């Protein structure tokens, strides 16, 4: 009898662990910080974006946050999966390396990789009057191609359809560095609705050469959302 109870308890623990691993990304149950109302204080915390961000107003607060979850989604014909813990990530479609002596390969043609991030926008005060909001992404190479073809999509709730968001603003198309996406309307709604797990997905269309791949920062120069509000 005791043995059966022990086995049942262990089964419950294992099933709980498996269920937790299969769910969508969730914000931490206890907030690391809650951002105070602006109230004309002209407060700034730009997290390294001072040189690339142009404020919309002089008497506003400008506060950036980092994602609470980041991962790469690798879309492959036989084994699609997510990866975490990368310093950088190569976006786009990559061909597989030929594995035979005659350089022929008869297997799947390659894989496509996207960057997925989750932000807790409920840390901002719900009475905030959003003046401007941007997603900042650090691009290590091929910035001109990225600015022309990169696609940013987002959703407020798990299960919602992903929607296309703003076009990128590139401070210098020829120099690697931060690229900003204007997502003001999207972020303002998320703050108003107290969304604590907003998903953003960054991708490139599939190409056929190394010239159509772009390396972006993940743990190194991680993406950030910067909100300017009153």
Question: Pseudo-torsion of CA 51, 52, 57, 63, nearest 10°?
Answer: -80
Backbone torsion region of residue 48, taken as left when φ is above 0, otherwise alpha when ψ lies between -120 and 50, otherwise beta: left
Query: Is pLDDT above 70 for 9?
Result: no
pLDDT of 175: 65
Query: Is pLDDT above 60 for 1?
Result: no
pLDDT of 212: 85
Measured distance CA(52)–CA(70) in Å, rounded: 23
What average pLDDT score do residues 77-82 get? 83
Bridge partners (DSSP) listed for residue 153 = 164, 201
Considering the entire predicted model, what is its pTM? 0.79
Measured distance CA(202)–CA(187) in Å, rounded: 16
* Count of Cβ atoms closer than 10 Å to residue 174 Cβ: 7
Judge whether 36 and 207 are in contact, CB under 8 Å.
no
Angle at 210 between CA 144 and CA 109, to 5 degrees: 130
pLDDT of 147: 85
Nearest residue to 73 (alpha-carbon basis) of 112, 108, 110, 18: 112
Confidence bin at 6 (pLDDT 50/70/90): very low
Query: Is pLDDT above 90 for 133?
Result: yes
pLDDT of 161: 87
Nearest residue to 200 (alpha-carbon basis) of 212, 216, 220: 216
Q: What is the pLDDT of residues 161-196, one digit of tens each?
A: 889 997 777 766 566 789 999 999 999 999 999 999
Query: Is pLDDT above 60 for 107?
Result: no
Q: What is the pLDDT of residues 22-74, one digit of tens each?
A: 455 665 544 457 999 998 778 899 998 988 898 998 889 999 999 999 999 98
What average pLDDT score do residues 212-226 get? 94
Residue 88 token pair:
């950088």
Query: Is pLDDT above 90 for 209?
Result: no
Residue 20 token pair:
């937790």
Per-state percent for the chain, helix, strand, coil, to nearest 5 = 20, 35, 50
Look at 112 and 35; give whichever has higher pLDDT.
35
pLDDT of 21: 47
The single residue listed with the structure tokens 């005659």 is: 102
- As a whole number, the mean pLDDT across the chain is 82
* Count of Cβ atoms closer than 10 Å to residue 92 Cβ: 26
Measured distance CA(69)–CA(222) in Å, rounded: 11
Provide the H-helix boundaries in the chain. Answer: 2-22, 143-149, 184-192
- Tell me the percentage of the chain whose pLDDT exceeds 70: 77
Measured distance CA(165)–CA(198) in Å, rounded: 13
């Amino acid at each position: 009898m005791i043995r059966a109870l022990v086995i049942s308890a262990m089964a419950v623990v294992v099933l709980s662990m498996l269920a937790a691993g299969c769910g969508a990304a969730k914000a931490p149950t206890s907030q690391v910080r809650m951002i105070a109302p602006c109230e004309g204080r002209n407060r700034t915390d730009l997290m390294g974006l001072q040189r690339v961000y142009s404020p919309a107003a002089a008497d506003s607060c400008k506060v950036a946050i980092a994602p609470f979850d980041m991962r790469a989604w690798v879309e492959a014909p036989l084994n699609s999966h997510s990866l975490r813990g990368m310093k950088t990530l190569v976006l786009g479609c990559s061909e597989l390396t030929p594995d035979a002596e005659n350089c022929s390969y008869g297997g799947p043609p390659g894989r496509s990789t996207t960057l997925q991030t989750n932000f807790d926008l409920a840390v901002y005060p719900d009475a905030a009057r959003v003046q401007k909001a941007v997603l900042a992404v650090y691009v290590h190479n091929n910035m001109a191609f990225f600015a022309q073809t990169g696609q940013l999509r987002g959703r407020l709730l798990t299960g919602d359809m992903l929607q296309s968001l703003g076009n990128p603003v590139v401070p210098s198309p020829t120099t690697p560095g931060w690229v900003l996406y204007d997502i003001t309307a999207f972020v303002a709604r998320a703050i108003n609705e107290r969304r604590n797990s907003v998903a953003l997905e960054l991708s490139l269309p599939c190409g056929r050469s190394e010239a159509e791949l772009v390396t972006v920062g993940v743990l190194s120069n991680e993406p950030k959302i910067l909100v300017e509000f009153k």
